[in-house]
């Protein structure tokens, strides 16, 4: 069903700890709980403040559900989630081999409009942008790669 690869490194400085873990799961909504547990366990290991953890949870849920619902159309495939911690910053990278799609290409929704006036879609990605310090997308070697970065301490 899924695999994890643990990679923990101790740099020369004992004050800095870098660690990374990767989870690969089928890109289906039924695996959301597994993905969330994977991310939360990692964040808790790194003493992530509750506010930052809640913000990252929102982002992880949004991105994984989008991959599960849209990346492979009527087909199936995997999602790979890699999370790293270095120097007080968490980086979460999502990769899938689905249809190429840059969620950052669309303009942010106009949140000054009422819900009835706003176009459908885009609010989730907007919330991801607002709850992280940086969001990057690239399409490389047949994979959509979306990276979220957030300073947690």
pLDDT tens column, 98-145: 999 999 998 766 676 666 776 666 678 989 999 999 999 999 999 999
- Across the range 67-91, mean pLDDT stands at 96
- How far the first Cα of the chain sits from its last, in Å, is 33
DSSP symbol at 31: G
Top-tier CATH class for 2-151: alpha beta
Task: Check residue 121 and give its pLDDT.
Answer: 62
> What is the model's pLDDT at position 18?
76
Q: What is the pLDDT of residue 10?
A: 41
Predicted confidence (pLDDT) at residue 11 exceeds the cutoff of 80: no
Q: What is the pLDDT of residue 122?
A: 61
Give me the residue label for tokens 């870098």: 18
Average pLDDT taken over every residue of the chain: 87
DSSP H or E segment with residue 14: none
Q: How far is CA 135 from its chain centroid?
A: 9
Q: Strand, helix or coil at 77?
A: coil
Q: Say which residue the tokens 């799609």 belong to.
A: 101
Contacts of 86 (CB under 8 A, 6+ apart): 16, 17, 18, 19
pTM for the model stands at 0.85
**Of all residues in the chain, what percent carry a pLDDT higher than 70?**
81
Angstrom distance (rounded) from CA 88 to CA 12: 17
Average pLDDT over residues 14-24: 77
Question: What span, in angstroms and rounded, lies between the C-alpha atoms of 104 and 145?
Answer: 12
For residue 84, the 8-state DSSP code is E
As a whole number of angstroms, the distance between CA 94 and CA 44 comes to 20
pLDDT at 109: 65
């Amino acid at each position: 069903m899924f695999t994890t690869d643990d990679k923990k490194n101790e740099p020369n400085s004992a004050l800095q700890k870098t660690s990374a873990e990767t989870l690969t799961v089928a890109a289906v909504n039924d695996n959301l709980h597994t993905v969330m547990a994977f991310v939360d366990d990692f964040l808790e290991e790194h003493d992530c403040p509750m506010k930052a953890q809640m913000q990252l949870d929102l982002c992880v849920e949004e991105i994984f559900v989008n991959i599960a619902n849209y990346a492979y159309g009527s087909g199936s495939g995997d999602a790979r989630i890699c999370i790293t911690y270095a120097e007080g910053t968490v980086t979460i990278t999502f990769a899938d081999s689905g249809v190429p799609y840059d969620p950052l290409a669309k303009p942010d929704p106009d949140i000054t409009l009422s819900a009835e006036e706003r176009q459908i879609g885009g609010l989730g990605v907007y919330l991801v942008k607002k709850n992280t310090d940086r969001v990057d997308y690239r399409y490389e070697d047949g994979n959509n790669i979306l990276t979220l970065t957030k300073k947690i301490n």
